[in-house]
């Protein structure tokens, strides 16, 4: 093999010496590259819509104590609720706390009645924990409390139990499972996790 860098020649000769056929070398090299890359970082794709929906559900059903504002976001699950606030990389040092959060969240979502909830509002409202929340309750047989909507408030729409929505329930559990799977891979190599939102 002419015109190869010295290191490339060494790798080529090593692979041939290991019994790899010449026509298989590029495929084997791609597998090696992927394997080495996973040693440093675990890359995953997550549907952003369902990631955000899961955070809304967790806040309303598991964390919320104060009904008028969002001061209690992250009260019980800070590793999950603030995940990706400062970028899409999760350092190895933070994955244990995240794993504990996710395991507990999954157990509680599956073992109890949790309502499908969606929060909406300007991004700046979510940065200010004193932002007021206006509730719209869409559950059957639920009388909505008449409350005056304040300007610059976050809207919180409450639906039935998440288990009533088959597709949403699957997608939300998939977000949890993908994250836990990535954590388990990262734990083996002491690597970071990189999330790509799709």
**pLDDT tens readout for residues 82-109:** 999 999 999 999 999 999 999 999 999 9
Residue 146 pLDDT > 70? no
Residue position matching structure tokens 């080495």: 36
Residue 77 pLDDT > 80? yes
- Work out the percent of the chain whose per-residue pLDDT is above 70: 96
Angstrom distance (rounded) from CA 161 to CA 141: 13
Residue 144 pLDDT > 70? no
Residue 163 pLDDT > 80? yes
**Domain segments of the chain: what residues?**
47-197
DSSP code, position 145:
P
Average pLDDT over residues 106-128: 95
Triad 148, 126, 194: Cα angle to 5°: 150
Residue position matching structure tokens 């997550």: 46
- Mean pLDDT for the chain overall: 93
Is residue 197 very low, low, confident or very high in pLDDT (cuts 50, 70, 90)? very high
Q: What are 44's two structure tokens?
A: 């995953």
Give me the pLDDT at residue 70, please: 95
């Amino acid at each position: 093999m002419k015109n190869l860098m010295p290191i490339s020649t060494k790798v080529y000769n090593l692979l041939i010496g290991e019994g790899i056929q010449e026509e298989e070398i590029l495929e084997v090299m791609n597998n090696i590259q992927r394997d080495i890359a996973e040693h440093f970082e675990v890359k995953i794709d997550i549907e952003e819509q369902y990631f955000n929906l899961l955070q809304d559900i967790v806040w309303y059903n598991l964390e919320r104590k104060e009904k008028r504002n969002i001061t209690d976001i992250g009260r019980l699950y800070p590793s999950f609720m603030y995940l990706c606030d400062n970028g899409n990389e999760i350092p190895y040092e933070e994955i244990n706390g995240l794993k504990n959060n996710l395991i507990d969240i999954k157990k509680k979502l599956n073992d109890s009645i949790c309502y499908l909830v969606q929060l909406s509002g300007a991004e700046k409202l979510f940065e200010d924990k004193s932002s007021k929340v206006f509730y719209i309750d869409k559950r059957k047989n639920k009388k909505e409390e008449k409350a005056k909507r304040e300007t610059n408030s976050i809207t919180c729409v409450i639906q039935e139990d998440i288990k009533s929505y088959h597709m949403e329930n699957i997608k939300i559990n998939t977000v949890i499972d993908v994250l836990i799977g990535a954590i388990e891979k990262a734990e083996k190599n002491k690597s970071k996790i990189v999330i790509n939102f799709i």
